[in-house]
Chains A and B, each alone.
Chain A
Amino acid sequence: MAHFTRRKFLQVAGGAVAVSSIGFPAIVGAASKKVVIVGGGVGGATTAKYIRMADPSIDVTLIEPNTEYFTCFLSNEVLSGHRQMESIRVTYDGLKGHGVNVVHDTVTDIDAAGKKVMTSGGKTFAYDRCVVAPGVSFKNNIEGYDEAAMKAMPHAWKAGEQTVLLRKQLEAMPDGGVVAIAAPPNPFRCPPGPYERACQIGMYLKAHKPKSKLMIFDAKEKFSKQGLFMQAFERHYAGVIEWVGADKGGTVTRVDAATNTIYTGDTAHKVAVANIIPAQQAGAIAAKAGLTDDKGWCPIDGRTFESTLQKGVHVVGDASIAGPLPKSGYAANSEGKTCAAAVVALLNGKEPGDPSLVNTCYSVVGPNDAISVAMVYDLKDGQLSKVDGSGGLTPKDSSPEMRAREVQYAYSWFENIKKDSWG
């Protein structure tokens, strides 16, 4: 990339962003170390923060359309009424405090050869390293589930308006109605999410609509933490929650939003509330930028999270294919730190070190009752791998006392990961 172009860009962009760019003066005249991050979810935010913490001489710009973000994690507690939207809301003020230049705009394309990012606001951002954290987008695997249908049958799989909409529908439904959750095929964001959601909605129904029922229609034959969830369904929601696996005809193939009807093959189910979670792929910008494989996800190098398809572009979070790591918030946070360390090393002419990653995921399944899964990962023969002997699930015979503690640790996870990612 021509030095002239970059400097010219800095001059142009500087005028627009100088007010919020604490790191800017240090960059002028220094060897260029410029990172552009696309997306302000867990992965993007964590990467931005940890780059700045490790090397404040690196100029970090994070481009995100929204001025606030609602975490998917614990948004299920909003559905049960146990939590308010405000508690899952984060802003970008914390990142600005770390000297991250936060730009609210939508990235329309990434030119990996020319090392620049273009936005719908008409701006161009040059970079030395780009980090893409676009989350997920939805596939059209369910007939009739279009933009309009999403307003009648919310997915609530990106927290925010959709979460509020689903909550309102639950509040408005009559006692005795059926709530349906259409659970997506693998791979998808937050593998235990639909089943924790069933528990949270189950809690609400038991307390406020005791004659109601919740059906989980699943496109899979098995799911995350299945044994523990089945125990929880039995323990708290016998006669309320029913799970129908794909092998029992659970796959939702079509919806009719006008009549609130969902179809599993030829069988119609008219329901009071339909929560449709479609099949997923990497966020749209990933495909546009040539970062996705034929399945719609982004292959990466496990040491640096650099795309194996586009040099100089890294992908973290749900969009990446991070070996055995699940598409979870904690994994995205851990990936962001790994990517940050690699980017800092590379921009300083050093070889990135070996990564170490963790996933920890809690599901709150009832009053004072949570379960969890955890795993430690490292690099073996160049591949991200589970560390033998580590991790696993809450034991099936875990005591009520220990499961009550897991709720408090779930809330600690939530508060700390919010602060660690955006704070």
Chain B
Amino acid sequence: MGCTKKALVALIGSIFVAGASSALAGPSAKAMADTCAGCHGTNGQSVGPASPNLAGMSAAYFVESMKGFKALPKDAGHAEDARPATIMNRIAKGYSDEQIEAMGEYFAGLGVYKASVPHDAAKAKTGAEIYDKGCAKCHDEGGALASDDAGILAGQWLPWLEYSMQDFQSGHREMPKKMKKQVEKLSDAEIEAVLHYFASQK
């Protein structure tokens, strides 16, 4: 996986550097990805306080997220898939699926970035135990493993983790079945603790 990804990134990179050959092919992955930095940080490394880091998330997760944002909210045909958003649903509609895939590969090639997120250490400690039992299977390595395609939760900004969980719990964002089963077992305090655990990961 890592090798393929690297090769792809190198390929995209070479298209960008070649310049002349990409002139007819639309904007390069880097040109598009750089426009995200004003909110998500240079090279997808957010300085917070809420916008998530994009650096290092798997291409599959990036693409799934962006296609979710692209689907029209409140559209009966898309209601199940649409990902709730404040502004990303408006921005994602500016890109073709191919462009989204190119951006996904670009961010996947940057390496995982974990921010230093203010958190409650005691909650994070409690959260670690809950994580081990209920979350680790799909969100491996403390939520830092890109290849599980479950996003990068480690070192993500706490408000974003909270908003995401609120959307899952309110039903605005569909939870994977396995996640639903685990989340339903947890109290609000336990969920909060897990989110602090992810935020605390360095």
| Interface of A toward B, CB cutoff 8 Å | 50, 330, 333-334, 337-338, 341, 345, 350-358, 360, 372, 374-376, 378, 387, 389-392, 394, 398, 401-402, 405-406, 408-409, 411-413, 415-417, 419-420, 423
Contact = CB atoms under 8 A, between A and B. Distances in A.
Interface in B133-182: 157, 159, 163, 166
Give the interface centre of A333, A401, A412 by most chain B CB atoms within 10 Å.
A412
Interface of B: 16-20, 22-23, 25-28, 30-32, 34-42, 46-51, 86-87, 90-91, 93-95, 157, 159, 163, 166
Given A353-B27, A356-B31, A376-B91, A330 B86 contact: no
A345 B35 CA distance: 18
Nearest to A334: B35
B19 A360 contact: no
Contacts, number: 136
Contact of A420 (B18, B42, B91): B42
A354 B22 CA distance: 7
A416 B163 contact: no
B37 A355 contact: no
Given A355-B31, A412-B49, A412-B50, A330 B38 contact: yes
Contacts of A406: 86-87
B39 A413 contact: yes
A415 B49 contact: yes
Contacts of B166: 401
A351 B20 contact: yes
Give the interface centre of A330, A333, A408 by most chain B CB atoms within 10 Å.
A408
Give the interface centre of B36, B49, B87, B95 by most chain A CB atoms within 10 Å.
B87
A358 B31 contact: no
Contact of A389 (B36, B86, B94, B157): B94
Give the interface centre of B46, B90, B159 by most chain A CB atoms within 10 Å.
B90
Contacts of A392: 90
Given A354-B22, A374-B87, A423-B42, A337 B48 contact: no
- Which 3 pairs from chain A and chain B are nearest by CB? A376-B94, A390-B94, A356-B27
